[in-house]
Amino acid sequence: MKETVVITGGGTGGHLKVADAFIEEFHKRGFKVIFIGSANGQDPNWFEDDKRLKKAFFLDTKGVVNKSFFGKIKALMQIVSQVSKCRTIFEKFNISRVISVGGFSAAPATFAAITTVDCYLFIHEQNSVMGKLNEKTARFASEIYSSFLPQSPVKDYPVNDDFFDNARIRDELKSVIFLGGSQGARAINDFALKVATDLTRLKIKIIHQTGKADFERVKDAYENLGIEADVFAFTNNLPEKMNEADFAVSRAGASTLWELCANSLPTLFIPFPHAAKDHQYTNAKFLEDKGLCYLLREEELSKEKFIEILKKDNYIISKKLVDSIKYNAIESIVDDMLDKS
């Protein structure tokens, strides 16, 4: 019978997407999987009733970033208090492998892995700049996986197969998709409305993910402009929506960035300006330096620059994106983990 592994981390959608990919891959291979996350992030929404899991534990932990001094102390004390609980879980289920996808949710199980004899710790870092937890614990890991770090044994990102299956080389411009993520991005929403009339004049269809909070405002604005746009707050069919588009405007969170690459969709990235350590900018800069995308800060955005970008030969970028990320990255990462432990 296969052993039980622990997947830990989350707090935000980017971390949880990667956690989900690991859960699916280990489950497919016949391993029993335990998820350890936080009760205070998005983690329960994703995994509370997940039938692939042997168990799911949601601990009373909170993030340390952007807290006051006393808030940081309280959060750290919460994390420390949960480490012994994780060690009890490891002992009960005979855990020898822990995979951390980062985020504050991962802290107790990560520290428990470090302080447990004969327990291998593997870290997946999503972004181009390491998160605080991964930065502190990286030297204790058996291996670190990242699409951005040159020393990573597997440099491809765990992207759902649907983004590859719906990929195509773009050789014309008939539609643009605006992506602010499931939570939305007001700056991108406002910019889309600003250029909507120009795009319509150029006979370019608009596809727009607004996020839940801004959906009604944006939908009404398109109606007032007399523009028929495909507007939605959130969708489970994002690969199909991307497939319809010939160009994208997006934030630069790691999951979305690599999904766009897998889809071979040329993109203008507008990083979230308040991301920790400005990681969204450096994520996109990694691609821009390879000639695989366009990158502008929010304050650099203008209608003129955007139209100029759309007029470029984006077929070349679309074609180059085909080789920017390989299919089945999660299989390669798990293979490497199993070889090392």
Is 262 found in the same domain as 113?
Answer: no
Look at residue 164 in the predicted model and tell me its pLDDT.
97
Q: Name every residue whose Cβ is closer than 8 Å to that of residue 136 and which is 6 or more positions away in sequence.
A: none
| Mean pLDDT of each 10-residue bin along the chain, 341 residues long | 91 90 97 95 93 96 63 67 94 97 93 96 96 92 95 95 96 95 80 97 97 93 97 93 97 95 98 92 98 97 96 96 95 96 79
Domain count, the chain: 2
At residue 330, the 3 state secondary structure works out as helix
Is 191 found in the same domain as 145?
Answer: no
Under a CB-based contact definition with an 8 Å cutoff, are residues 99 and 124 in contact? yes
**DSSP state, residue 42:** S
Taking residue 223's Cβ as centre, other Cβ atoms within 10 Å add up to 12
Is 256 found in the same domain as 210?
Answer: yes
Report the greatest alpha carbon distance in the chain: 66
CA distance 5 to 49: 18
180 among the known binding-site residues? no
Look at residue 69 in the predicted model and tell me its pLDDT.
59
Instruction: Outline where DSSP puts E strands in the chain.
Output: 4-8, 32-38, 55-59, 97-100, 120-125, 143-146, 175-179, 205-209, 230-232, 247-250, 267-269, 294-295
CA distance 282 to 266: 18
Residues paired with 56 in a beta bridge: 35
Is 145 found in the same domain as 13?
Answer: yes
Is 22 found in the same domain as 79?
Answer: yes
Q: Which domain holds residue 299?
A: 162-321
181 among the known binding-site residues? no
Look at residue 73 in the predicted model and tell me its pLDDT.
61
CA distance 332 to 300: 39
Output the CA–CA distances (angstroms, integers) from residue 268 to 91, 159, 214, 275, in the order listed: 48, 20, 21, 18
Is 291 found in the same domain as 232?
Answer: yes
148: left (phi over 0), alpha (psi -120 to 50) or beta: alpha
Is 228 found in the same domain as 214?
Answer: yes
13 among the known binding-site residues? yes
Strand order in the sheet with 120-125: 55-59, 32-38, 4-8, 97-100, 120-125, 143-146
Is 256 found in the same domain as 154?
Answer: no
Is 168 found in the same domain as 123?
Answer: no
45 among the known binding-site residues? no
Is 244 found in the same domain as 116?
Answer: no
Is 143 found in the same domain as 23?
Answer: yes
Q: Which two tokens stand for residue 297?
A: 């800060």
127 among the known binding-site residues? yes
Look at residue 11 in the predicted model and tell me its pLDDT.
84
CA distance 307 to 189: 17
At residue 5, the 3 state secondary structure works out as strand
CA distance 204 to 210: 18
Name which of 54, 71, 70, 49 is nearest 62 in CA terms.
71
Q: Name every residue whose Cβ is closer than 8 Å to that of residue 270 and which is 6 or more positions away in sequence.
A: 185, 187, 188, 191, 249, 250, 251, 252, 296, 297, 298, 301
Assessment of whether the complete model's pTM goes beyond 0.85: yes
Under a CB-based contact definition with an 8 Å cutoff, are residues 211 and 181 in contact? yes
14 among the known binding-site residues? yes
Q: Name every residue whose Cβ is closer than 8 Å to that of residue 121 and which is 6 or more positions away in sequence.
A: 98, 100, 110, 113, 114, 137, 140, 141, 142
CATH of the domain at 186: 3.40.50.2000
CA distance 186 to 192: 10
Is 168 found in the same domain as 78?
Answer: no
Match 């959130």 to its residue by tokens. Answer: 234
Look at residue 12 in the predicted model and tell me its pLDDT.
83
At residue 124, the 3 state secondary structure works out as strand
